[in-house]
C-alpha cells in the first residue's frame, strides 16, 4: 500500500489573499471549505493589536485569520511573507518616530472626542423624543435621558447605542428599555431556566411592563408612591469609571474571607489610654535544672504463645453412587442447608 506524502507548506492552488480560521496545529490554518492546510513557506504570523503595522502588511499577499464565537468575529492576526513584515515593521517604527505622526494622533483624538460629544447630544435628543413625557414630568424625562445616555454612549461600553446597524432612534428606544429592565425590575436577580428562548421571553414580558410605565408618564398621570422609575431616579447615579456594585450577594465563605482582611477599627467612645512605661526587667540567673534520674527500661512482657486454630468441621456432603453422577434437587438443597449450618456454627464460636 503506497504511503501518503505530507502536504507541503502553502499549496500553489490557494489564493494569495484569503480569510481563514485558526487551527490547533502550529503553522496550520483552516480554509473556508473546512480543509486544514499549512501556511506558505517563508510566511510569519503577525499578531493583532497594531493597526498601523497590519495595514502596511496587507498591501500584498496575506491571509487574514478570523475566529467566530457566536455572533461575534475576533481577529487572530495575519499571515504574510517574512520579508514584507520586516519592511513594514521598519517603516512603522520610522513613521512613529517622526513628530508629524504624534500631531496626527493628537488631531485624531480631538476629532473623535468632538464626534463623541456630538453623538451624545444627538442620542439624548432621540431619547427625549422617544419618551415624550407630559409637561408635568418634563424634569423626569430630562433626568432619565441623561442617565441613559451616560450609561449607553461611552466608547467600548458594548451597548446597543454603539451599534451602527440600526438608526439612532431605534438605538435610543432599545437603550431606554434596557436601562429600565436593569434599574426598575428584578431582572438582575431572576433565576431564568437555561432553555432556548426563555430569557428572550422574560425580556419581552419586562419590556411590556416598562412601556406601560412610560405610557403613564406620557399621559401625565400622578406618580404612584411605589413607582419603580421614580425610585430608580431618586438614587444617585454611579460615578463614571467606578466599578459597579455586585448584583448578587457574596456567599458566606466569601464574606468571611473579606471580613478577615478588614482590620478592626477602635471604638469611637472608648478613651485612648496611653500605656504606662514598663520597668526594665531585672536579669535573674536561670534556675538550675536537676540532673535527670536514670530509670531502668520497662520490662517487656513475655510473648504469648499463639494457640493453633481449631480445626474446622468438615462439611457433610450427600453420598452419591457414582462420582460423576449429578446431584438431584433434594440432595442439592440438603447440601446448601448443611453449608449454612456449618457457617452458623463457625460464627457462634
- The mean pLDDT value for 122-139 works out to 94
Q: Is the Cβ–Cβ distance between 75 and 66 less than 8 Å?
A: yes
Is the pLDDT confidence value at 74 over 50? yes
Tell me the three state secondary structure of residue 251. coil
Alpha helices in the chain (DSSP H): 51-57, 82-97, 99-131, 138-152, 168-183, 198-218, 228-234, 252-261, 329-348
Q: What pLDDT score was predicted for residue 322? A: 52
Looking up cell 451597548, which residue turns up? Answer: 159
Mention every residue, 6+ apart, whose C-beta is less than 8 A from residue 27. Answer: 9, 38, 39
Tell me the three state secondary structure of residue 172. helix
3 Cα distance to chain centroid: 46
Across the chain, mean pLDDT equals 79
Q: What pLDDT score was predicted for residue 304? A: 47
Q: How far apart are the C-alpha atoms of 270 and 13, rounded to whole Å?
A: 85
Distance (Å) of CA 329 to CA 2, 8, 319, 340: 66, 76, 14, 17
Is the pLDDT confidence value at 125 over 90? yes
Give all strands of the β-sheet with 28-30 in edge-to-edge order. Answer: 36-38, 28-30, 17-22, 62-69, 72-81, 43-46
**Angle between the 99-131 and 198-218 helix axes, to the nearest 10 degrees?**
70
Q: For 304-323, write each residue's pLDDT tens digit.
A: 444 455 555 555 555 554 55
Q: What pLDDT score was predicted for residue 11? A: 47
Q: What pLDDT score was predicted for residue 135? A: 93
User: pTM of the prediction?
Assistant: 0.56
Is the pLDDT confidence value at 211 over 70? yes
Residue 347 grid cell? 460464627
Looking up cell 431605534, which residue turns up? Answer: 170
Q: What pLDDT score was predicted for residue 180? A: 94
Q: For 7-51, write each residue's pLDDT tens digit.
A: 445 444 456 788 999 999 989 999 988 899 999 999 999 999 999
Q: How far apart are the C-alpha atoms of 219 and 222, rounded to whole Å?
A: 9
Q: How far apart are the C-alpha atoms of 156 and 118, rounded to whole Å?
A: 17
- Count CB neighbours of 110 within 10 A: 10
Listed by start position, the domains of the chain span 17-97, 110-234
Question: What sign for the dihedral angle of Cα 114, 116, 117, 121?
Answer: positive
Hey, which residues does 193 pair with through a beta bridge? none
Using 50, 70 and 90 to split pLDDT, how confident is the model at 262? very low
Higher pLDDT, 100 or 292: 100
Nearest partner of 148 among 119, 113, 114, 120, judged by Cα:
120
Q: Is the Cβ–Cβ distance between 53 and 89 less than 8 Å?
A: yes
Nearest partner of 233 among 213, 258, 250, 261, judged by Cα:
213
Q: For 227-252, write each residue's pLDDT tens digit.
A: 999 999 988 876 655 544 444 455 55
Higher pLDDT, 208 or 311: 208
Q: For 138-186, write each residue's pLDDT tens digit.
A: 999 999 999 999 999 999 888 999 998 999 999 999 999 999 999 999 9
Among the ranges given (36-50, 200-214, 256-270), the one the predictor scored with the smallest mean pLDDT = 256-270
Is the pLDDT confidence value at 267 over 60? no
Using 50, 70 and 90 to split pLDDT, how confident is the model at 324? low
Q: How far apart are the C-alpha atoms of 15 and 140, rounded to whole Å?
A: 59
Amino acid at each position: 500500500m503506497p504511503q501518503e506524502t505530507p502536504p507541503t507548506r502553502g499549496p500553489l492552488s490557494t489564493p494569495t489573499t484569503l480569510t481563514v480560521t485558526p487551527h490547533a496545529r502550529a503553522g496550520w490554518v483552516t480554509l473556508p471549505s473546512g480543509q486544514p492546510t499549512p501556511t506558505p513557506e517563508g510566511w510569519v504570523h503577525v499578531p493583532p493589536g497594531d493597526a498601523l503595522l497590519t495595514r502596511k502588511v496587507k498591501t500584498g499577499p496575506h491571509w487574514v485569520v478570523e475566529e467566530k464565537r457566536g455572533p461575534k468575529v475576533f481577529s487572530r492576526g495575519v499571515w504574510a511573507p517574512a520579508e514584507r513584515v520586516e519592511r513594514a515593521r521598519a517603516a512603522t517604527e520610522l513613521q512613529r518616530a517622526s513628530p508629524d505622526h504624534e500631531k496626527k494622533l493628537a488631531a485624531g483624538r480631538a476629532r473623535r472626542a468632538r464626534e463623541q460629544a456630538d453623538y451624545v447630544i444627538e442620542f439624548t435628543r432621540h431619547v427625549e423624543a422617544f419618551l415624550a413625557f407630559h409637561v408635568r414630568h418634563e424634569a423626569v424625562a430630562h433626568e432619565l435621558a441623561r442617565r441613559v445616555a451616560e450609561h449607553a454612549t461611552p466608547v467600548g461600553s458594548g451597548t446597543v447605542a454603539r451599534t451602527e446597524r440600526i438608526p439612532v432612534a431605534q438605538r435610543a428606544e432599545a437603550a431606554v428599555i434596557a436601562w429600565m429592565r436593569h434599574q426598575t425590575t428584578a431582572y438582575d436577580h431572576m433565576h431564568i431556566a437555561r432553555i432556548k428562548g426563555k430569557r428572550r421571553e422574560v425580556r419581552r414580558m419586562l419590556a411590556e411592563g416598562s412601556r406601560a410605565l412610560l405610557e403613564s408618564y406620557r399621559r401625565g398621570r400622578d406618580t404612584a408612591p411605589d413607582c419603580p422609575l421614580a425610585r430608580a431616579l431618586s438614587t444617585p447615579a454611579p460615578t463614571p469609571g467606578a466599578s459597579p456594585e455586585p448584583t448578587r450577594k457574596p456567599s458566606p465563605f466569601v464574606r468571611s474571607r473579606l471580613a478577615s482582611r478588614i482590620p478592626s477599627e477602635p471604638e469611637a467612645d472608648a478613651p485612648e489610654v496611653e500605656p504606662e512605661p514598663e520597668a526594665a526587667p531585672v536579669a535573674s540567673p536561670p534556675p538550675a535544672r536537676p540532673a535527670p534520674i536514670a530509670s531502668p527500661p520497662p520490662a517487656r512482657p513475655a510473648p504469648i504463645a499463639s494457640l493453633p486454630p481449631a480445626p474446622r468441621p468438615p462439611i457433610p456432603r450427600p453420598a452419591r453412587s457414582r462420582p460423576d453422577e449429578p446431584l438431584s434437587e433434594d440432595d442439592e438443597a440438603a447440601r446448601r442447608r448443611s453449608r449454612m449450618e456449618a457457617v452458623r456454627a463457625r460464627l457462634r464460636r
